[in-house]
Amino acid sequence: MPAVWLKAGKEKSVHNRHPWIFSGAIARQEQGIAPGAIVDVLQSDGVWLARGYINPHSQIAVRLLTWDAIEQIEPNFWERRLRHAIKRRDSLRASTGTNAYRLVHAEADGLPGLIVDRYADWLVLQSLTLGIEQWKPLLAELLLNITGCKGIYERSDAEVRSHEGLRFTNGLLKGGQPPAPVRVMENGHLFAVDVCHGHKTGFYLDQRDNRSVVAQYCGGAQVLNAFSYTGGFSIYALAAGAQNVTNIDSSADALRMIEVNTTLNELPAQTKVLEGDAFQVLRRLRDDALRYDVVILDPPKFAFSRAQLGTATRGYKDINMLGMQLLRPGGILATFSCSGLVDEDLFQKIVFGASIDAGREGRIMHRLGQGSDHPTLLSFPESAYLKGFIICVD
């Protein structure tokens, strides 16, 4: 097996089973190793540490797959990993009320660079790294054999691919073409999902559990759902008996899907849609003295790099200040961040700062995170990215 040697003192993270080795930690490597190849990782003194795939064009030079010297990276390896990941979702698969969830969560399932989401009888795959790209045909075949699904659609359009030297790739990967849209069920609620063109892989599956929690506060309430997308939180709120829901999103197509999803669930059409930039619309609603019982803030990722952290912090503070100003006394703010670089402690400080600027006092009622189908590997805290609070605002 081709090998790379780490610099002296750089082996601690590997011993701690962290799956990333950065380029700066590598002292040397054998000549002629092809990008994407499987390599052995050795200490500076030649002691074997782990095995993974290499990409010298990426800042994350090696992504580790196994710490077992006997375990070879061959077709049976990938099949075992896929079966173990899918088995972890058995409770969701057995649920009659949910047939849309994540099957493979990259590093957290021992498969760095691979994302697979299930939408009823179709899979959506994201290949994020060169190493996974080279095994993609086999992985697609294994996934269809294991799940019995009708087809796999590829949505490899995440920015991380550019750091791997890869172009964006979207289209049918294997099997049949998914319908447009795919109809799925989540906790007994029906949703029409555009897996070919929608955000991420089509739907925000990581918010499944949080939608149920937020809905508990929506009975009889006037609800404002900012960054609503296709109305995930809105459908749950209406089903819980919300008096009405106002949705804000910049996408007209997404807002039209809210009407589709409302009809699918045979819910009263007590919704209003406002197309536009959420920051501007929230400010306009505040200036018009409109007030709500529940405000939901589920914005897209603001921080893609540490250089953007300052701008992201200001953005989160601004929308949370506006959200609090739009609440009646005793109202509920459900606020989220999916920026991995903004950890829960920083996010709480940002929301606290927003409360000071808004002149409001808040109490955290719930701390929220991503669903169980998006697990966090203990040795890889980076796999935890979604955090949220339900706050009672006086």
**Do 131 and 55 touch, CB atoms closer than 8 A?**
yes
Structure tokens at 54: 């290499």
Backbone φ and ψ for 391, nearest 5 degrees, come out as -120, 130
**Do 347 and 332 touch, CB atoms closer than 8 A?**
no
Dihedral (CA of 379, 337, 125, 261) sign: positive
**Do 219 and 241 touch, CB atoms closer than 8 A?**
yes
Q: What do you get for the CA distance between the two ends of the chain, in Å? A: 63
**Do 205 and 101 touch, CB atoms closer than 8 A?**
yes
Catalytic residues: 338
> Residue 118 is which amino acid?
R
Work out the number of other CB atoms within 10 angstroms of the CB of residue 213.
16
The full DSSP string for 137-206 is: HHHHHHHHHHH--SEEEEEE--THHHHTT---EEEEEEESPPPSSEEEEETTEEEEE-TTTSSTTSS-GG
**Do 184 and 120 touch, CB atoms closer than 8 A?**
yes
Q: Residue 19's closest CA among 384, 386, 385, 383?
A: 383
Q: To 10 degrees, what angle do helices 252-264 and 232-239 make?
A: 30
Beta-sheet pairing, 20-22 with 38-42: unpaired
> What's the CA gap between 193 and 119, in Å, rounded?
8
Beta-sheet pairing, 122-127 with 26-29: unpaired
**Do 287 and 279 touch, CB atoms closer than 8 A?**
no
